[in-house]
Chain A
Amino acid sequence: MKKYALLTTNIALFLLMALLLAAGQTSFWLQLFGSFPAPALWMPVLVYLALFRSTMMFIVLSHLLAIALASATTMPEALLMITCLAVGLSVQTFKTRIYWSATTYFMMISGFATLVFHIYYFIVTWLLDPNPITSPSISAWIIQALLTPLFAPLFFPLFRWIDAITEHSEPPEISGAYQP
């Protein structure tokens, strides 16, 4: 019973973090820097979950995250869910090829995921949206992808702390105990 309570707390805390960071991105950044593109502050949450959760667990969390984030955007919920899932699975695939346990890796993947997110969303709108993106904001995509890694290391210890207080154990392939 305690295990499920801790898991629920863990999920709730990560969703709360994502919402707080999204609010910071859309509101706090606006007050400070006006219309200058804001870093995708919520992206490190998605990246962290993709890196340190099993695929099945990540799929569930990704959908929950997309539902939560839909309140801060006019992006259609379904398209956001598909895009988040695609980004997360891409990160997991990338991780199976190249991985090193350092903050620089987390920074690099956060920037990569931000850029990939926009590209995937652009493609998804052309595939599924009757009104696709015709004028993509490519400069904003690039600025976001460059700014996000600068903020990602600030959140990483916080995510680790959440995992520590909720006694979340990493999947075996992450902790190194995995034996194929």
Chain B
Amino acid sequence: MNFFAFDIRKLLIVVAVIALPILSINMKRNPGEDPWYRRPFTWIVAMSQGGYSSFTSGVRGTTSMYLNLVGIKKDNQRLGRENQELRAQLAASTELKLENERLNQLLEFKLNTKMKLLAAKVIARDLSPDHESIRINRGYRQGLRKLMGIITVEGVVGYVLSTELDTAQILVVTDRSAAVDALVQRTRARGLISGKDSNAIRLRYLQRADDVAVGDAVVTSGLKGTFPKGFPIGKVTTVRKTDFGISQEAMVEPVVSPSNLEEVFVVLDSGGEDFNEKLQTGFGPPLLSKMNPPGGAPASTPDGARKTTP
């Protein structure tokens, strides 16, 4: 056997096969750049991968769209329900916010007055549309007595007509049977308030010579302590004076509308409160504050005397 008698071609091939990987490993590469010989392959692979990717994502998209369509009705119903719930929650929140504002206003009023007040909620109205009475959720167990005054932050509501254990019937000033002693704030002319209908009350038994004008504020006289003195009842809208007789009558627009009442105060004790004095500090019901801005002239004469024109 001729040990050296080998085929030179085969030897070269073997050497080349062994050397190529070694050469390849040791070849210096530029990072981020494919060698020239690989580029066509890379291009083909990239194209193929792109094609597959587009195809599979297309298939996946179509499948998921189909699956979504199957579930979309359920989602729609669920979202609809959620929307309704959120709307209801929003309405409840708005209602709570408004209630909170009202109660804050009531609290502020209660804290800034000498009166002993008891907050109450309106729970019912009168059976007949021709009568103006309400029922509140406070009765004689909470200290309510007949003829106690009922007010809101804006003005006079009425007075207690009858009491039960935990409720009381209130006669609103707009009822035709109601009667409240009143003064015209500007001139201290005294009269008697009685109801006409839900939007109007009458100021009766004014002396013929009394000075009463449209726009005058009508306030409580504070007589008997049922109401604080000078608390608003309404605003004069018309004055009627006949050619004969000893008295005149004025129509008054009440500051409190019985149809909008929700929370009220029961005046357990008026504590000698006088809102004519309060006007100097700017505190008081909106009507009085509007008509008598703080720092302006006092609403009443210093001695509270009744001024009449001849």
Compute how far the CA of A136 lies from the CA of B129 in the bound complex, rounded to whole angstroms.
Answer: 9
Minimum CB–CB distance from A36 to chain B (whole Å) comes to: 9
- C-alpha spacing A134/B175, complex, angstroms: 11
Contact B197 A137 (CB under 8 A): yes
- Report the tally of A-B residue pairs with Cβ distances under 8 A: 71
- Which stretch from B8-16, B27-35, B130-138, B222-230 is at the chain A interface? B130-138
CB-defined contacts of B196 to chain A, threshold 8 Å:
134-135
Residues of B within 8 A of A38 (CB): 125
Pair A121/B130 contact, Cβ less than 8 Å: yes
Instruction: Indicate the member of A38, A75, A136 with the most B CB atoms within 10 Å.
Output: A75
B204 → chain A closest CB, angstroms? 11
- On whether the beta carbons of B260 and A35 are closer than 8 Å, the reply is yes
CA distance A137 to B125 in the complex (A): 15
Q: Which residues of A from 65 to 106 have beta carbons under 8 Å from B?
A: 69, 72-75
How near does chain A come to B170, taking the closest CB pair, in angstroms?
Answer: 9
Interface band, chain B: 20 to 34
**A25 vs B129: C-alpha distance in the bound complex, in angstroms?**
11
Given A35-B260, A74-B161, A22 and B129 touching (CB < 8 A)?
no
Q: Does B24 reach chain A (CB closer than 8 Å)?
A: no
Using a Cβ–Cβ cut-off of 8 Å, how many residues does chain A contribute to the interface with B?
Answer: 28
Minimum Cβ distance to chain A for residue B166 (Å): 14
Cα of A137 to Cα of B129 in the assembled complex, Å? 7
19 new A-B contacts at CB < 8 Å, known A30-B122, A140-B130:
A25-B127, A27-B123, A30-B123, A37-B129, A72-B124, A72-B127, A73-B126, A73-B128, A74-B126, A74-B131, A74-B161, A74-B169, A74-B171, A74-B175, A118-B130, A135-B200, A136-B130, A141-B129, A144-B129
27 contacts between A and B (CB under 8 A): A25-B127, A26-B126, A27-B123, A27-B125, A30-B123, A38-B125, A72-B124, A72-B126, A73-B126, A73-B128, A73-B133, A74-B161, A74-B169, A74-B175, A75-B127, A118-B129, A121-B128, A122-B130, A131-B177, A131-B194, A134-B176, A135-B197, A135-B200, A137-B129, A140-B129, A141-B129, A144-B129
Q: Using a CB–CB distance below 8 Å, which chain A residues touch chain B?
A: 22-23, 25-27, 30, 34-35, 37-38, 42, 69, 72-75, 118, 121-122, 131, 133-137, 140-141, 144
